[in-house]
A and B are shown apart, each in its own frame.
Chain A
């Protein structure tokens, strides 16, 4: 089947029930999307499917054929969200951060000036064991140019 990932087409031969996450990681070598729970409970595997954030660990690859898939590797290094992430030093161990960033990119596309409540609603499915939530919240406000006061 054909997958369109970060603007490139890839032909993959795989059990169609395989979760997208493992196709990205094992077939395409895109290991930025992380495995955390396998149940859509932690958000470490979050990718964009046609612009919407989805948990790739519970998304069968057959469901995303031909759709536009964007992973952390497909978000430009100078994207405002990534720049804000660096400015606020959001990362600690860093394992959950690709999923957090992808979720934040989707949030800001939907709501360019999110409130704290918007951030809670959009980001509470992305767990971080290091507890970087305060910095992630600040980074999202920074990326939105709201300085925390939308």
Chain B
């Protein structure tokens, strides 16, 4: 598809109505339906999110990026429910970048924060309701009856005396009517919502037809790999392209801000060309970075007071007079997102336009950054969102690194070009979940319950230095650094949470579940320690501290009950429990774990209970819990990005393993029936799994691991008696 056609489509979508007609959609963009990959022109486009063709087909335009979570099904369900259409006639299409597709009440187009259903529920329901009212009005006018005598059902308007007209037949007439300003939601029991409908995007995904960013291709396109610095912050001092240029298939070698770009006829010659480059780097102070020294520095910092993020009562004074106190230090490492699809970006840059096709979670930010890099205005840049082979936050980078780099290459070569990151480029390219050090001291009251809790958190801010700092950092405290700790729901009368924000050349970023990925492990592990210290059952101990939080209690009880908490287990197995409130949802998990003499941890079973309020599609919600558990488990068992002489020591899946089929526990998901407002589901499944597993490990072995991951090395080092 040419850039020109892209413009046509955008104009088409923003127009309020359009006489039926052939609109050719690009097959490279995500669109489709369950049984047919096709789209037709439309006769009726009452708003930005919906159009109805003369043949009755309904296309829902989805402004959220599909990266596994199922938005190409859940968001169309919201529209279709209110529209009362025939679900088998519903297709989806990725939206272009335009203001009407920005996040509700925010000037950016973004998919993140487990917010798609939460933020779009009302807007898309109203979009469907408005169209329904217009179709009813069109039918009523044709039949010369009152609209109140008509109703919509399964893709048709039904009127008095058995009158019936399909949406397709009414579409053109409805398009001529005014769009209702305040459409009424139909209410009542849903015909689609709450049902485990099949995903509309699955057929394309299993047939190899779904186009991800890395699959984008146009005639004459070149492929590029970039030699990036061996350490963060290094600059190219000098390079010799001769070796690369001598290879067949290599077209050009150009310096860009990110390093040295090798542009070739394909990925393989580009990779070979890069290997043949000679580059001299000015490594700068980044070469001094090492994980052991950073850990030591963080530990030292944790001994000194930080900025206060939360203060209740007087934790320090209470601890000072306590007869017994409990002290612990927890650590979690840097983590890579490691999306299965390595980063990539296609750019076709012309003198006055720029077409970008990539899997972005952050379209307006990436578009604006591309415009700056290209010296164009934002409206001259067209960004088309492909399928994303995983996102987890990595494709929502305030720095737009993978987009800007590709634009710079395109500016140098003046040909359509796709930059592909190798797995090693992706893993060593930074933007990690920060490493953290937590120091906690606590004491208990006469009944064994927490009386004081003094908690110091040390680590980098993910938004410092970005456009998001202003909104997310208050009085020096990045709220994502302390979320889950400063706002803990546990009743602790003397609570103090402090923060040291460190600075480093290592770029950091949100990573699925953001701050909770760290604080969930620390809070739920240390609380478990206190329960055991008090001689109490960890589940009942939590219950006693959460009396004012009925929704948390409910998931805690559900997970405990379904897991058989308290019932005997097979010899050599232990159970651990953890619970987290985050992104508007509540999740509890119970893990069943064993460990062998070599310190190898096996997770056999995970029972997960979720309250995410009203549910659109229970099957995709379940899938998100399964997914969060697998994602969190890879981090809990194996995940660590470490540095030596400034170099990232991991590069591929041998050194940064993921949970595979043979390590995946049996997962059971139970969803609390609820009429509460919708909560998020993409992220909340992640935080509880690491502490649930670590707590189960303690239950079965007496080994308390306070440093992730739970590798045999760390497990053996944490055996009682080992210092």
Interface residues of A (CB under 8 A from B): 15, 17-19, 22, 25-27, 29-39, 41-42, 44, 71-73, 77, 82, 85-86, 89-98, 101, 119-121, 123-137
Q: Is the CB of A127 within 8 A of B658?
A: yes
- A-contact 0/1 string along B630-655, CB 8 Å cutoff: 11011000000000000000001110
Q: Is the CB of A131 within 8 A of B664?
A: yes
Q: Does any Cβ of A come within 8 Å of B6's Cβ? A: no
Q: Is the CB of A37 within 8 A of B423?
A: yes
With A91-B202, A92-B68, A137-B661 given, is the CB distance from A129 to B654 under 8 Å?
Answer: no
Q: Is the CB of B209 within 8 A of A15?
A: no
Q: Is the CB of A92 within 8 A of B652?
A: no
Q: Is the CB of A77 within 8 A of B207?
A: yes
State which of B206, B267, B392 has its C-beta within 8 Å of the C-beta of A97: B206
- A-contact 0/1 string along B209-227, CB 8 Å cutoff: 1111011010000010000
Q: Does any Cβ of A come within 8 Å of B615's Cβ? A: no
Q: Is the CB of A97 within 8 A of B205?
A: yes
Which A-chain residue is minimally distant from B625 (CB atoms)? A131
Question: Which DSSP category, helix, strand, loop or mixed, fits chain A's interface?
Answer: loop
- Not counting A38-B422, A97-B205, A129-B390, a sample of 13 additional A-B residue pairs whose C-beta atoms are within 8 angstroms of each other reads A38-B652, A39-B653, A82-B206, A86-B202, A89-B199, A94-B206, A101-B206, A126-B660, A126-B661, A127-B660, A130-B630, A131-B664, A135-B623
Q: Is the CB of B423 within 8 A of A36?
A: yes
With A36-B341, A92-B68 given, is the CB distance from A125 to B660 under 8 Å?
Answer: yes
With A124-B661, A127-B653 given, is the CB distance from A85 to B206 under 8 Å?
Answer: yes
Q: Does any Cβ of A come within 8 Å of B184's Cβ? A: no
Which B-chain residue is minimally distant from A117 (CB atoms)? B662
A37 to B657, CA, bound (A): 12
Which A-chain residue is minimally distant from B338 (CB atoms)? A129
Q: Is the CB of A131 within 8 A of B629?
A: yes
Q: Does any Cβ of A come within 8 Å of B520's Cβ? A: no
Q: Does any Cβ of A come within 8 Å of B203's Cβ? A: yes
Interface residues of B (CB under 8 A from A): 66-70, 198-199, 201-212, 214-215, 217, 223, 248-249, 266-269, 338-342, 387-392, 420, 422-423, 619-620, 623, 626-631, 633-634, 652-654, 658-664, 666-667
Q: Is the CB of A26 within 8 A of B652?
A: no
Q: Is the CB of B662 within 8 A of A124?
A: yes
Most buried by B among A18, A82, A85, A134: A134
With A38-B423, A128-B340 given, is the CB distance from A26 to B664 under 8 Å?
Answer: no
List A contacts of B623 (CB < 8 A): 89, 92, 132, 135
A120 to B411, CA, bound (A): 47
Q: A83 to chain B: closest CB distance in Å?
A: 9
Q: Is the CB of B659 within 8 A of A15?
A: no
List B contacts of A89 (CB < 8 A): 198-199, 202, 619-620, 623
Q: A146 to chain B: closest CB distance in Å?
A: 17
List A contacts of B69 (CB < 8 A): 92
List B contacts of A17 (CB < 8 A): 268
State which of B205, B208, B249, B654 has its C-beta within 8 Å of the C-beta of A41: B654
A32 to B266, CA, bound (A): 17
Q: Is the CB of A130 within 8 A of B627?
A: yes
